[in-house]
Amino acid sequence: MNRIEQTFQLLKEHDTKAIVPYIMAGDGGLDCLTERLEMLEKFGAAAIEVGVPFSDPVADGPTIQAAGIRALNNGTTLKEIVAELTKARRTIKIPLIIMTYLNPVYAYGISSFVEDIQKAGVDGCIIPDMPVEEEEMIAPLLEAAGTELIRLVTLTTPLDRVKQIAAKGRGFLYTVTVKGITGTRNEFDKELLSFLQAVKEVSPIPVLAGFGISNHEQMQTITKYCDGVVIGSKIVDLLAENNFAELADLMSIFKLKSNLI
Ligand SMILES: O=P(O)(O)OC[C@@H](O)[C@@H](O)c1c[nH]c2ccccc12
């Protein structure tokens, strides 16, 4: 069993949900990446999405874009991120998932990328601008390496297609909760909860919801219909403000206690 499966099993046994923070690698300098991962693990993260900064991030809202620009201005490269994650893996027990647009992977070289992230102990990979139809270029390599390719579906994905994607799915299915870009929201579409419920019914793997989520009330409501949430923009903001108290509080529900891992 891989680390992602193990984690969801553990969450189920303890009747709790996953909180998966997203952070931008290199925001605040790559030197603080391991430290931040350790803190998020301590605060109860079930897994962490590590974002790779990219100059043309089509799905990113203002907060994540700004974090990406800060990281690029710090000179962050994918090579250095992979090296830092290799170090981080010595202390971090929870799954680490690399989140990158396709272009940096291309530039790196697809097979070297897969080989290096596997060696680094990365458990999964999300490539949001790679449609399922194009994934043959990397999916078999990831599969062979035992690194899960996490697929995404969105509110506009027809249920038939959700079914197809979920059936291929590895690790968990990332359900995008909005029709738009990343960033905190005060309200969600009326159809979100029924859509999540439908996704959950057809998915053989755990379902996580992400985009727009920033508070306990939203987390509680949404996780009635899925296995957990991804929180990006809110966490990127709190880290940029060094507001660790609010971060710990935000993550205090559904805590995966580190002594369980
Ligand atoms: O920031 P939000 O609204 O909390 O959403 C999570 C999101 O940031 C993270 O998963 C993410 C960052 N960039 C992406 C691009 C595509 C899909 C997902 C993402």
pLDDT in tens, 214-252: 999 999 999 999 999 999 999 999 999 999 999 999 999
Look up the pTM and report it.
Answer: 0.96
Q: Report which of 9, 45, 97 is spatially closest to residue 231, judged by C-alpha positions.
A: 45
The whole-angstrom separation of Cα 195 and Cα 198 is 5
Q: Report which of 137, 135, 123, 224 is spatially closest to residue 152, judged by C-alpha positions.
A: 135
Q: Report which of 132, 99, 116, 83 is spatially closest to residue 20, judged by C-alpha positions.
A: 99
**What does the block give as tokens for 147?**
């690194």
**Coil, strand or helix at 203:** coil
Q: What is the pLDDT of residues 129-177, one digit of tens each?
A: 999 999 999 999 999 999 999 999 999 999 999 999 999 888 999 999 9
Whole-number average pLDDT of the chain: 95
Q: Report which of 171, 92, 82 is spatially closest to residue 119, judged by C-alpha positions.
A: 82
All domains in the chain, ordered by first residue? 3-247 (3.20.20.70)
**CA–centroid distance, residue 90 to ligand 1 (Å):** 26
Tell me the best of 126, 211, 219, 247 to mutate to test the pocket of ligand 1, counting ligand atoms within 8 Å of each CB and taking the most. Answer: 211
The whole-angstrom separation of Cα 32 and Cα 26 is 8
Q: What is the pLDDT of residues 173-215, one digit of tens each?
A: 999 999 989 999 999 989 999 999 999 999 999 999 999 999 9
Provide the 8-state DSSP code for 180.
S
Ligand 1 pocket, Cβ-based, cut-off 6 angstroms: 22, 49, 51, 59-60, 64, 99, 128, 182-183, 210-213, 230-234
Say yes or no: ipTM exceeds 0.90: yes
Q: How many residues does the chain have?
A: 261
